[in-house]
Structure 1
Amino acid sequence: MVVPESQEKMYDPPNNLQRDAHVPDFDSYQAMYRKSLEDPEAFWKEIADEFFWKKPATGPMLQYNFDVSKGNIYVKCMEGAKTNMCYNVLDRHVREGNLGEKVAYYWEGNSPGHHATITYRQLLSHVCRCANVLKQMGVKKGDRVSIYLPMIPELIYAMLACARIGAVHSIVFAGFSSESLSERIMDAQSSVLITADGVYRGEKLINLKHISDEALEKCREKESCSVTTCLVVKHHSMRTISGTSCNKLQISWDSQRDVWWDEAMADSPEECEPEWLDAEDPLFILYTSGSTGKPKGVMHTVAGYLLYTSLTFKYVFDHHLDDVYWCTADIGWITGHSYIAYGPLANGATSVLFEGIPVHPHVGRFWEIIEKYKVSKFYTAPTAIRLLMKYGREPVQKYDLSSLRILGTVGEPINAEAWQWYYEAVGHGRCPVVDTYWQTETGGHVLTPLPAATPLKPGSATFPFFGVEPSILSEHGEELAGEAEGYLVFRRPWPGIMRTVYKNHERFENTYFKKFPGFYVTGDGVRRDKDGYYWITGRIDDMLNVSGHLMSTAEVEGALSLHPAVSEAAVVSRPHKVKGESLYCFVTLKNSIDFNKTLEDELKKLVREKIGPIATPDFIQNAPALPKTRSGKIMRRILRNIARNERDVGDLSTLADPKVVEELFSERSEAAA
């Protein structure tokens, strides 16, 4: 790996970061990266020495087998060691350090009037009280607890309480349907469900207790209801709205099963001895919802996940103790687990915990919060950036964003236009954008810039993190050198990689290791340019083979998004008698712009110019909105159905707005019918 010499537009790290950065320049990155691969034992031991171990490791830092032909796939980190995650992210700061009075979270509710400040000492007290309540309910080491809560402090208390007593938490995003919740409860066989009475998302009132009751009823119908207790948080917004009592929410109550959180916590002791766990004991299960098939229970374990989330948070965001950090994700997703909860807390960070949405009660809410708390490190999704771009720079300019030092993106590759807007309008050209690539399965960042060390190329995830060794393979499993495009794989583990699919190790091996023995297969396509930079091209099943040419849908989407009329684009394949596959494109236009033949021709011309004639779209359809999950992910499975005019689109329960599907069918291009 060499310092890039390309003439392509790059952005050098700002000098003000390099003065005190943990990784101050590209040479330092290269030296540390080489050490992490050549002497991983010493590299990871140095990180582990920062934490508390009740019993030291008896085995090496990492042991593994990635080759299915050599037996079962496994990864082990610090075998023989005993520790506790909760102790390391709370007690270590409060009892051993001097951070007890430091703010752990500034909680900002759905409405600006709802907020709270929680110190590390207060957080430890709440967590211990919750841990004692769970123990009183019969929860013990290894038991599973399902958590279905909005972004309120009780969500943090509950997950850390599980970690403290050795229970395995399974957090379910509080936007999922009762069907999705019941599936996850049944697979985990959870004994306790923690939920809330309700929540406002923007102006919309959601009855979480009703959804939870429906989920438990579905479990009973399938004779698989393991939940004996439902612990219910009385959400602050259900108690008062504008100072008056709220009676809009009607909830049912099962006195044999349901328990109010406040009542359970009232007399619970503030001291709770942690359960000392083996390094490879499970910490949590998090279910991924693929486009088809049963959700996979991705399982992460204690020691390796602690080391990796702590280190990636520290280096990728160049964390210092005076920072205020804000990740806008939901803890129901891996981003929230790793970079709202465990990674920041392991570093003694001060974070913003945000319950609301970016456009409520106004489109400047993000910027208002950054000004209010003087946020220095801001981490959000390209989806949110593109949404806010539609409103222009005026809402951003109303607020003082001078506290910002680093910007980050997560969830999908960011297109160049959104990157540029984020960099200039939000960061004022002085904040590097760390475009992070990782998965639920990886536990933490695997390809990412380091803000003071890496020259940036808009849209590139740049280089591997420490201990991560990527490779690019052809369809036939051949390793490709130099400039190349193909399957993104990794040839060795890092401490935070998943250990198995819960209760289904065979599925784990088949999904991630069978296609290319000896490698972890991400399922994503990647391109490496002549400077060694990595560019994620999208899921392999979102790559098209048009007349023998392998083509990335993300690349075509990026070209379409360059047109000033387009706010968002999504591209899928449609069968073609001659070419095999053709490009079917959906475009969402900016406010008050009409879709017409002239615009369609301009878009086709733009793609031809940016990529080449072979990439010319066959069909372009107006899409007033795209089918997205509640986390903002575009459901391309549904778009493929629409492109093919196949109206049996399957389960729509995870969509934020199912009505979008019918609207897209009605908008469907006459030429494609």
Structure 2
Amino acid sequence: MDDALLHAPLVSPTTALSAAAPVSAAEAARLQALPPAEYWLEIARELNWMTPPEVALEGSFGDFSYFRGGTMNVSVNCLDRHDPQTVALHYEREDGRSETWSYGELTDAVARFAACLQDLGVTKGDRVGIYLSNCPEAFVAIQACYRIGAIYSVIFAGFSASAVRDRLDDAQPKVVVCTDATLRRGKVVPLKATLDDARSGIHSIEAVIVARRIDPQAVLNTDEHDFHTLLNAQTRRADPLPMEANEPGFIIYTSGTTSKPKGLVHSGVGFLVGTYANVKWALNLRPEDTYWCTADVGWLTFPIFALVGGLAQGATHVIYEGSIDTPTPERPYQMIEKYGVTKIFTAPTALRMLRRAGDAALSSHDLGTLQLIALVGEPLDPETWHWTQETLGGGRIFVNNTYGQTETGTAWASSMVGLTPTRPGACGQPLPGYRAQVVREDGSHAEPGELGYLTLTEPFPCLARTVWGDHERYHSVYLSEYPGKYAASDAALFDQDGQLWVTGRVDDVMNVAGHRIGTMEMEAALITHPAVSEAAVVARPDPIKGMVPVAFVVPRAGTVGSAELEQQLSDAIVKGVGSIARPARVIVVGTLPRTRSGKIMRRLLRDLLESGEVKGDLTSLENPDAIEVVRGEIAG
């Protein structure tokens, strides 16, 4: 990577965040130094247990347990133990619909909906499909599953019928909870109709519960129930079931490329312990905070930082249904100002989207309550980091870039907010309880500054335990490449201060004439050009050099592509990375294929470069029209 990035000054926590830090610097250092098993046992005791654990880790990767014999209930820790008068949720939708729920109201609804599920025959270990948008019913349904020990499986609201079917067919749920529809950029997305197509022939489904949020008169079939009719008629409150710490809590599917999606199984209690600690350190979320996680409920970021880890801290949550830049790019700033948001968890793509819209939208809104923006999802370029801190945050906020995966169940690399520094573009350091190592291809330890393969060397409670129904696949994907370690399949390095830099998937590291180059540093160099809004760099096979980089660039509004601009951008990469990284082509495009969560789908760009066709799973692609746009620019 560019030495200038790796040696940029460390940024210390703000005075306000330091004053509110959850522990002293000395205590943070003590926790960081503890052996992981001791740390997790200590942090777990901050939660409410029915049977407190006496042991921490037993076993090793592939067959381990944490807190064996300890029992608790996730919903009790997320809901019952908080002040019932505190606002739990401020909900808004694109069209202006809004609701406010207190912790007391949410706890009551969860307990009664859990009783509704029991009345429909759902018992401990049964699966419940959750096909919902970012709405209060998602909080109710998921926490109700935790309350009675049902294993829930969240299905992303943007999936096609075939993708929904794959997940239902694998999990075999007894009940599915859905909304009739949701809104996305002003358009109605028909979830119930999609579910109707997807569930045909899946005989495990005995009932469907529909929250009619768009059309109150939507017609229901004979085995379908209205969510609110059931809930309003229910007077019984289900008791919270004691759950052993290693029993499965939920299944979440990762999108496949050529094979079927993997149903990752997380322990309910282990996930709670991990996310509780994650939110404590990465956000220092407190009951007095008003906090907005912009992720979709269908991606694990939302359960980690809102539905479970966020609620466990007792803060007031803002949830938004739809695209956050709809109806106008000012909407996020309106939300921050209206609710007095103090902390935000979002993705780098969302910040780049706001930056692309221009700074004028900021000028008429008071964002003075904002203290922290934390990020996860993809590499963060330093240019966006500085814009966020200086322009959006007025120079007074802390920007905490983090790193984690669906498999790890937390963003385990992060600044400890208020306690440890960060470096623009880096992902902080491994939090207490995690042990990470960057290795070379042969498994040997990589030196600081050396790009290699990211691994984790010790288990932790929130790590996925298996692939649903296919433990052999879990072993082969995650544990076989570097025996005794979990392989993240991401390229990374640690700098001289121990800051983690994740440059992308291993596939995004290219070997150009014997030099290993990560795409992130090339993209960061492109973003520094004033004409560039977004950039993606991928590798193309080359008969002489092995691989060569090709850059795709989305220009800022008002910028027109030209040969001169392409040359400038090529030179920007050379200046930022070196002549070995000069791209074979710079392709200026109006849009790039991306997931609904905003990630650029770089593998589709590689497919289009190599063959002109795209392969693999397209269910998470939000803008299919981008494929033809990119194909045309490649050909042109």
Q: TM-score, normalised by structure 1?
A: 0.91
Question: What is the DSSP-based 3-state SS (H/G/I as helix, E as strand, rest coil) of the residue aligned with 1:668?
Answer: helix
1:365-396 deviations in Å (ceiling 9; x for gaps)? 11111111111111111111111101221111
Q: Distance in 1 between matches of 2:389 and 2:67?
A: 40
1:6-54 deviations in Å (ceiling 9; x for gaps)? 96233222222222311454x55333200244xx32x333322222222
Aligned partners of 2:512 and 2:547 also within 8 Å:
yes
Could you say which residue in structure 1 is the equivalent of 2:31?
32
Which consecutive segments of 4 or more residues in structure 1 shift more than 4 A?
none
Shift in Å, 1:341: 0.8
Aligned partners of 1:125 and 1:270 also within 8 Å:
no
Aligned partners of 2:371 and 2:398 also within 8 Å:
yes
Could you say which residue in structure 1 is the equivalent of 2:117?
134
Shift in Å, 1:260: 1.3
Q: Distance in 1 between matches of 2:238 and 2:206?
A: 23
1:290 to 2:273 alignment: no
Shift in Å, 1:225: 3.3
Could you say which residue in structure 2 is the equivalent of 1:156?
139
Could you say which residue in structure 1 is the equivalent of 2:531?
565
1:655 to 2:621 alignment: yes
Q: Distance in 2 between matches of 1:419 and 1:494?
A: 30
Could you say which residue in structure 2 is the equivalent of 1:451?
417
1:630 to 2:596 alignment: yes
Letter of the 2:17 partner, please give it. Answer: L
Q: Residues 324 and 457 from structure 1, CA distance in 2 versus in 1: closer, same or farther, beyond 3 angstroms?
A: same
Q: Distance in 1 between matches of 2:448 and 2:23?
A: 26
Shift in Å, 1:353: 1.4
1:228 to 2:217 alignment: no
Could you say which residue in structure 2 is the equivalent of 1:74?
63
Question: What is the DSSP-based 3-state SS (H/G/I as helix, E as strand, rest coil) of the residue aligned with 1:550?
Answer: strand
Letter of the 2:159 partner, please give it. Answer: F
1:213-247 deviations in Å (ceiling 9; x for gaps)? 01112xx1xxx432111111110x434xxxxxxx8
Letter of the 2:29 partner, please give it. Answer: Q
Q: Residues 7 and 334 from structure 1, CA distance in 2 versus in 1: closer, same or farther, beyond 3 angstroms?
A: closer
Q: Distance in 1 between matches of 2:605 and 2:326?
A: 28
Q: Distance in 1 between matches of 2:57 and 2:370?
A: 37
Alignment size in residue pairs: 632
Shift in Å, 1:63: 1.8
Moved more, 207-216 or 261-270: 261-270
Could you say which residue in structure 2 is the equivalent of 1:88?
77
Letter of the 1:81 partner, please give it. Answer: G
Question: What is the DSSP-based 3-state SS (H/G/I as helix, E as strand, rest coil) of the residue aligned with 1:378?
Answer: strand
Shift in Å, 1:531: 2.1
Aligned partners of 2:255 and 2:617 also within 8 Å:
no
1:57 to 2:53 alignment: yes
Q: Distance in 2 between matches of 1:302 and 1:150?
A: 22
Aligned partners of 2:245 and 2:270 also within 8 Å:
yes
Aligned partners of 1:313 and 1:339 also within 8 Å:
yes
Aligned partners of 1:620 and 1:669 also within 8 Å:
no
1:282-326 deviations in Å (ceiling 9; x for gaps)? 111110113332111111112221111111111211122211111
Q: Distance in 1 between matches of 2:342 and 2:273?
A: 24
Aligned partners of 2:333 and 2:362 also within 8 Å:
yes
Letter of the 2:346 partner, please give it. Answer: T
Could you say which residue in structure 2 is the equivalent of 1:107?
91
Q: Distance in 2 between matches of 1:200 and 1:327?
A: 18
Q: Distance in 2 between matches of 1:252 and 1:263?
A: 14
Identical-pair percentage: 37
1:380 to 2:329 alignment: no
Q: Distance in 2 between matches of 1:148 and 1:644?
A: 36
Question: What is the DSSP-based 3-state SS (H/G/I as helix, E as strand, rest coil) of the residue aligned with 2:447?
Answer: coil
Could you say which residue in structure 2 is the equivalent of 1:195?
178
Aligned partners of 1:148 and 1:193 also within 8 Å:
yes
Q: Distance in 2 between matches of 1:528 and 1:7?
A: 12
Aligned partners of 2:491 and 2:504 also within 8 Å:
yes
Letter of the 1:109 partner, please give it. Answer: R
1:510-564 deviations in Å (ceiling 9; x for gaps)? 1111000011111111122222211111100111111111111111111111111
Q: Distance in 2 between matches of 1:535 and 1:613?
A: 22
Could you say which residue in structure 1 is the equivalent of 2:3?
none
Question: What is the DSSP-based 3-state SS (H/G/I as helix, E as strand, rest coil) of the residue aligned with 1:366?
Answer: helix
Aligned partners of 2:84 and 2:102 also within 8 Å:
yes
Aligned partners of 2:512 and 2:545 also within 8 Å:
yes
Letter of the 2:235 partner, please give it. Answer: P
Q: Residues 434 and 636 from structure 1, CA distance in 2 versus in 1: closer, same or farther, beyond 3 angstroms?
A: same
Could you say which residue in structure 2 is the equivalent of 1:238?
215
Could you say which residue in structure 2 is the equivalent of 1:535?
501
Q: Distance in 1 between matches of 2:426 and 2:598?
A: 21
Uncovered stretches (5+) of structure 1, i.e. residues with no partner:
1-5, 67-72, 94-98, 240-246
Q: Distance in 2 between matches of 1:417 and 1:23?
A: 31
Q: Residues 280 and 374 from structure 1, CA distance in 2 versus in 1: closer, same or farther, beyond 3 angstroms?
A: same
Q: TM-score, normalised by structure 2?
A: 0.96
Q: Distance in 2 between matches of 1:487 and 1:592?
A: 40
Question: What is the DSSP-based 3-state SS (H/G/I as helix, E as strand, rest coil) of the residue aligned with 2:128?
Answer: strand
Could you say which residue in structure 1 is the equivalent of 2:368?
402
Q: Distance in 2 between matches of 1:303 and 1:453?
A: 27
Moved more, 312-321 or 116-125: 312-321
Pairing partner for 1:254 from 208, 211, 221: 221
Aligned partners of 1:629 and 1:655 also within 8 Å:
yes
Aligned partners of 1:109 and 1:115 also within 8 Å:
yes
Aligned partners of 2:292 and 2:319 also within 8 Å:
yes
1:325-381 deviations in Å (ceiling 9; x for gaps)? 111111111110111111111111111111132221211111111111111111111
Aligned partners of 1:619 and 1:669 also within 8 Å:
no
Moved more, 648-657 or 373-382: 648-657
Shift in Å, 1:82: 1.6
Shift in Å, 1:472: 0.9
Shift in Å, 1:650: 4.5
1:105-128 deviations in Å (ceiling 9; x for gaps)? 11112223x111111110011111
Q: Distance in 2 between matches of 1:186 and 1:376?
A: 41
Pairing partner for 2:166 from 173, 178, 183: 183
Aligned partners of 2:243 and 2:269 also within 8 Å:
no
Could you say which residue in structure 2 is the equivalent of 1:18?
18
Q: Residues 377 and 534 from structure 1, CA distance in 2 versus in 1: closer, same or farther, beyond 3 angstroms?
A: same
Q: Distance in 2 between matches of 1:50 and 1:453?
A: 20
Q: Distance in 2 between matches of 1:526 and 1:650?
A: 25
Aligned partners of 1:316 and 1:434 also within 8 Å:
yes
Letter of the 1:53 partner, please give it. Answer: W
Could you say which residue in structure 1 is the equivalent of 2:542?
576
Could you say which residue in structure 1 is the equivalent of 2:323?
357
Letter of the 2:392 partner, please give it. Answer: V
Q: Distance in 2 between matches of 1:497 and 1:652?
A: 26
Aligned partners of 1:327 and 1:378 also within 8 Å:
yes
Question: What is the DSSP-based 3-state SS (H/G/I as helix, E as strand, rest coil) of the residue aligned with 1:161?
Answer: helix
Could you say which residue in structure 2 is the equivalent of 1:242?
none
1:426 to 2:425 alignment: no
1:238-267 deviations in Å (ceiling 9; x for gaps)? 34xxxxxxx8xxx55421x21111222221
| Correspondence 1:532-611 to 2 at 5 A | 532-611=498-577
Could you say which residue in structure 2 is the equivalent of 1:44?
40
Letter of the 1:376 partner, please give it. Answer: T
Q: Distance in 1 between matches of 2:579 and 2:257?
A: 31
Q: Distance in 2 between matches of 1:314 and 1:648?
A: 41
Question: What is the DSSP-based 3-state SS (H/G/I as helix, E as strand, rest coil) of the residue aligned with 1:396?
Answer: helix
